[in-house]
Amino acid sequence: MNTDTYSIPQLVTDLKNACAHATDEREIISAVRPLARRAARSKASWLQDRMYGVQADPGIGVYLLHEEPDHTLAILAVSWYPHRGAPPHDHGTWAVVAGVDGAEKNHFFERTDDRSRPGHAELRKVGEKVFQAGDVVAMPKGVIHSVSNETDVVTVSLHIYGKHVNYTSRSQYDLQRKAQLPFILDVRA
């Protein structure tokens, strides 16, 4: 049984401290990884039943846990319907995601086009990994991935971003149409 009571306010304080003392994105991500893992493992101190609520279309629920007034340092709880997920996308900022409840499969991609045509993007899959509760995936700015819940239950993960993703000009990618499109989340408070 986990007796850790690491709250979101404590996480925020530790994140601000880590970001203030880091000199680059790599150091920030390295410092944030164990904080995200600790927060995920301490879900009893912040996870609420309502955070398992998922919008039928697109099959995701996004809950804002913290955001700075200038949109930096955003923390979200994200829930996924069974057998649903998100298309390939980037975040427009660094991201650290920790599994909270259930397994989520991440597929990783790289751009193969020369980026010379606006709205056009060609991707190649370069890997995949299933993340369980307590596992952490860290992504520098520019990493492209997709997420899928291949289980029969709603899953939840904790997402920490250098900036709220709705303020980063992030993109989603349509593999069949070879298109790059804006990607905005419907975030609930």
Q: Give the domain range for residue 46.
A: 8-188
pLDDT band at 1, cuts 50/70/90?
A: very low
Is residue 23 a part of any domain in this protein?
A: yes
Q: Which of 110, 111, 54 is CA-nearest to residue 85?
A: 54
Q: Is residue 34 part of a domain?
A: yes
The tens digit of pLDDT for each residue in 15-32 reads 999 999 998 999 999 999
Is 2 domain-assigned? no
Tell me the CATH number at 49.
2.60.120.10
2, 81, 91: which is closest to 40 by C-alpha? 2
Residues 16-74: pLDDT tens digits?
A: 999 999 989 999 999 999 999 999 999 999 999 999 999 888 889 999 999 999 999 99
Is 1 within the bounds of a domain? no
**Does residue 110 lie within any of the structural domains?**
yes
Q: What is the model's pTM? A: 0.95
Please give the tally of structural domains in the chain: 1
| CA contacts within 13 A on the Cβ side of 17 | 7
Instruction: Please report whether residue 3 resides in a domain.
Output: no
Could you give the strand order of the β-sheet that contains 72-80, starting from the edge strand earlier in sequence?
Answer: 136-139, 95-101, 155-163, 72-80, 60-66, 187-188
